[in-house]
């Protein structure tokens, strides 16, 4: 993930982050685009990253009232829906701090401007509620080891664990980090994150690419004493990787033990290793996360320590050092034979910066993705760049690649059970379109999809024909369930129910009257 302390290995400019710009009204709602970017899918993960570090996306600045912060976040959720996305990845622990009342770490400074100051409400609870009301999955994004974007521990609140345990922390590259090689640190950061997992209705836990810090020329990570104590005879590089492997494996096990339906995903740097260094690597020549930040992302996939992997493939098609098409192929082959879902991290910010000179670069990425059945979706960094819609590029992406909504793909090993089909479905013509109504079935339904039919034949629904998918929405038990298809002209409609891991019920249909 692009942050304050890293540019990609090509040293390309990240460009200014744009905030507050209105999204172009040119996004259409037509069912069939003029030029579809590859075969359309009814099941596709579509997410945006919302960054809180340095107030990149949310909140837009520190010190806003609780009401304004809530409204800003709801605006981001509305943007996600308008772009036909179905998930948000929101940063809730950017720098060893918290966007919820944590017993382990202080309130984040990015809320009020003062670390440790109560914002007067529970931002994480409000975020989860806002996302779920719009039927968006909520992925809580945590940074395990970054403590501060500056290097002076005295600038942290006095009660900060980094000050009460100064031996846990090192300074490097002008920043502060928890030392990943100390077992007590690993347990502590897991405890801090698991507090949110156990207390909130999260759909997923998400890590980005920050493990050991990215290399800084002329500096050495100061963990020699830790290595001498815990290295156990392994090389320094292998030991560091083992420390991160242990964090990943243990975190996955703890999440599964506490809430087996909550996904665990990581968004690593886009290159694991180059083929010149390892025959199993990609045909690239860039920075290798295996060496640079001790991230053995291929092993996490092959061992099944993650439920999804979302590599940051932040480069254009045809780039010699890191060709998007080559990396998409490599990651698709890496997840082959596993039950790990593959989503691709997309650099919307490079449209803003101008590094992507082709307005349709992200559309072309979708055309590449369509070659591989194992690529199940995408996430876009960052939210502000989607809102800015530079050169109309995001409008083009939505028009061509996302002409209809999409349902989050199910991940088999997460389990769950298909709920009972919706009850008493009716479809009635109104002045505005067609009003579809149904009753909430007993059991585990958390959301619905509405499909347009020709007659009442539900075969297209069972096949999940994306051209028939009209909308998805959250279940509201105890309340009337309905959806108005504005301008709708279907001679019949069907509704399917989904549990929280996206297992589908049988469709229930009605002829339009």
pLDDT at 28: 30
Percent of residues, the chain, with pLDDT higher than 90: 89
Would you tell me how many other CB atoms lie within 10 Å of the CB of residue 237? Answer: 11
**pLDDT at site 21:** 30
Average pLDDT over residues 341-355: 98
Whole-angstrom CA distances from 263 to 50, 80, 336 are 18, 20, 19
Residue 36: what pLDDT? 59
Residue 2, pLDDT above cutoff 90: no
The mean pLDDT value for 476-481 works out to 86
DSSP assignment, residue 308? E
Q: Is 70 exceeded by the pLDDT of residue 35?
A: no
Residue 38 pLDDT: 66
Identify which of 106, 93, 13 has the alpha carbon closest to the alpha carbon of residue 53. 93
Rg over CA atoms, the chain: 23
Reference 12, options 440, 292, 352, 239; nearest CA is: 352
pLDDT of residue 280: 98
- Three-class SS state of 99: coil
Per-residue confidence (pLDDT) for residue 478, from 0 to 100: 82
Token representation of residue 51: 């960054």
Higher pLDDT, 354 or 5: 354
Residue-wise pLDDT for 178-188, tens only, equals 999 999 999 99
Chain segment 493-510, per-residue pLDDT in tens: 999 999 999 999 999 999
pLDDT of residue 464: 96
CA distance 259 to 127: 19
Six-digit token pair at 205?
């836990």
pLDDT of residue 327: 98
Q: Range with the lowest mean pLDDT among 2-6, 137-141, 487-491?
A: 2-6
Question: Per residue, what are the HEC states of 387-426?
Answer: HHCHHHHHHHHHHHHCCCCCECCCCHHHCCCCCCCCEEEE
Closest of 315, 268, 267 to residue 288, by C-alpha: 268
Q: Residue 308 pLDDT more than 50? A: yes
Q: Is pLDDT larger for residue 114 or for residue 14? A: 114
- pLDDT over 70 for what percent of the chain? 93
Domains of the chain: 45-413 (3.20.20.80), 416-511 (2.60.40.10)
**Structure confidence by residue, pLDDT tens digits, 368-384:** 999 999 999 999 999 99
């Amino acid at each position: 993930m692009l942050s304050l302390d890293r540019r990609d290995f090509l040293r390309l400019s990240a460009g200014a982050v744009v905030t507050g710009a209105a999204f172009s009204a040119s996004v259409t709602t037509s069912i069939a685009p003029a030029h579809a970017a590859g075969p359309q899918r009814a099941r596709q993960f579509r997410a945006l990253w919302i960054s809180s570090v340095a107030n990149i996306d949310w909140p837009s600045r520190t010190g806003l009232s609780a009401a304004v912060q809530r409204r800003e976040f709801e605006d981001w959720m509305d943007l996600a829906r308008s772009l036909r996305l179905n998930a948000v990845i929101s940063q809730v622990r950017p720098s060893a701090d918290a966007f919820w009342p944590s017993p382990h770490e202080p309130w984040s400074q990015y809320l009020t401007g003062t670390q440790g100051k109560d914002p007067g409400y529970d931002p994480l609870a409000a975020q989860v509620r806002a996302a779920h009301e719009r039927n968006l999955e909520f992925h809580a994004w945590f940074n395990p080891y970054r403590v501060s974007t500056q290097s002076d521990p005295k600038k942290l609140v006095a009660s900060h664990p980094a000050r009460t345990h100064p031996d846990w922390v090192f300074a490097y590259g002008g920043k502060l980090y928890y030392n990943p090689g100390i077992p007590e640190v690993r347990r502590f950061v897991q405890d801090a994150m698991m507090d949110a997992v156990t207390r909130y209705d999260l759909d997923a836990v998400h890590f980005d690419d920050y493990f050991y810090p990215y290399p800084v020329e002329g500096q050495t990570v100061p963990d020699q004493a830790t290595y001498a104590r815990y290295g156990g005879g392994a090389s320094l590089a292998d030991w560091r990787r083992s420390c991160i492997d242990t964090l990943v494996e243990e975190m996955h096990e703890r999440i599964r033990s506490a809430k087996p339906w909550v996904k665990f995903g990581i968004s690593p740097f886009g290159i694991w290793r180059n083929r010149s260094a390892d025959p199993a690597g990609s045909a690239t020549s860039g920075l290798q996360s295996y060496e640079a930040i001790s991230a053995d992302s291929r092993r996490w996939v092959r061992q099944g320590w993650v439920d999804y992997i979302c590599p940051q493939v932040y480069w254009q098609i045809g780039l010699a050092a890191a060709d998007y098409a080559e990396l998409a192929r490599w990651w698709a082959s890496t997840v082959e034979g596993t039950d790990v879902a593959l989503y691709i991290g997309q650099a919307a910010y490079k449209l803003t910066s101008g590094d992507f000179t082709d307005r349709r670069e992200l559309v072309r990425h979708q055309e590449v993705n369509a070659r591989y059945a194992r690529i199940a979706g995408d996430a876009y960094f960052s939210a502000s760049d989607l809102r800015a819609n530079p050169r109309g590029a995001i409008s083009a992406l939505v028009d061509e690649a996302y002409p209809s909504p999409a349902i989050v793909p199910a991940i088999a090993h997460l389990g769950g059970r298909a709920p009972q089909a919706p009850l008493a479905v009716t479809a009635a013509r109104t002045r505005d379109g067609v009003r579809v109504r149904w009753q909430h079935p007993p059991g585990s339904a958390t959301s619905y999809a509405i499909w347009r039919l020709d007659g009442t034949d539900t075969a297209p629904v069972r096949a999940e024909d994306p051209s028939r998918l009209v909308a998805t929405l959250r279940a509201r038990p105890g309340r009337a369930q309905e959806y108005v298809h504005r301008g709708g002209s279907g001679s019949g409609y069907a509704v399917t129910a989904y549990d929280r891991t996206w297992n589908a019920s049988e469709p229930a249909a009605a002829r339009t009257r």
